[in-house]
Amino acid sequence: MIQGVIFDLDGVLTDTAVYHYQSWKQIASSFNFELTEKHNEQLKGVSRSESLDHILSWAGIALDPEMKNRLLVEKNGLYLDLIQSLSSRDILPGVTDFLHHLIGQGVKTAVGSSSKNANFILSKIGLMPFFDVVVDGTMVKQTKPDPEVFLLAAASLGLNPESCLVVEDAEAGVEAAKSAGMKVLGISAHGNLIGADHEVQNLIGVDTKYLLSHLN
Ligand code: BG6
Ligand code: MG
């Protein structure tokens, strides 16, 4: 039986992808590279430094570690400016009811995110009280698609990986959850998330009782 649900943050609880995109686009334009939405899709779930590595390789640019670090700091500054105004209005549809139902059924809840800004974002949108555990990008050595973030979340909840369900919107995250031996509920507007055990367009009206027993 599923006893714990581990949520990805960006794209599952709130949609910050557009802000990551805007700030990366500005960074990329500083070296005359035009970052497109298609590129951005490939950055979902990927850590900040690996995202920069992808962008530099698409642009065919090699930078020394110091310069890369400056760009990472600059990108995060731009991103933080953009997410200052996040509030509970930015919680994605269906999320709050879904969490209430799970908690009412005695299921433990965690966040497993690649973001180093996860605690800040959760506080801004007011979802912090809904989670027993938050594991973010500051707490792991390897990021998705490595399973470390989800394994640490399960261990912190005191659960075996097999009794956890991960809710994810990115391929790197689905891969991470499957490598951890967990079930995956995929969130995908277009129904094309490879590898998820079950897929929905959003969390509106998702029947938690059915889901937890069905994905056993
Ligand atoms: C993930 C996002 O949740 O966090 C990625 O999907 C992002 O796009 C990554 O790069 C790291 O985020 P941050 O906040 O540490 O720059
Ligand atoms: Mg995500």
| Residue that finishes a domain, picked among 70, 85, 100 | 85
Assess whether 8 and 113 both reside in one domain: yes
Average pLDDT over residues 79-103: 97
CATH number (domain holding residue 186): 3.40.50.1000
Quote the ligand 1 centre to 92 CA distance (angstroms): 17
Indicate if ligand 1 lies below 6 Å from the C-beta of 16: no
Domain with 81 in it = 17-85
Count of structural domains, the chain: 2
pTM, 2 dp: 0.96
| Residue that finishes a domain, picked among 85, 107, 131 | 85
* Nearby residues of 186 by Cβ (< 8 Å), 6 or more positions away: 168, 169, 174, 193, 195, 196, 197, 198, 199, 200
Atom of ligand 1 nearest to the CA of 118: 14
Atom of ligand 1 nearest to the CA of 136: 15
- DSSP letter at 196? -
pLDDT value of residue 190: 83
Quote the ligand 2 centre to 52 CA distance (angstroms): 17
Query: What digits encode the pLDDT tens for the residues 100-132?
Result: 999 999 999 999 999 999 999 999 999 999 999
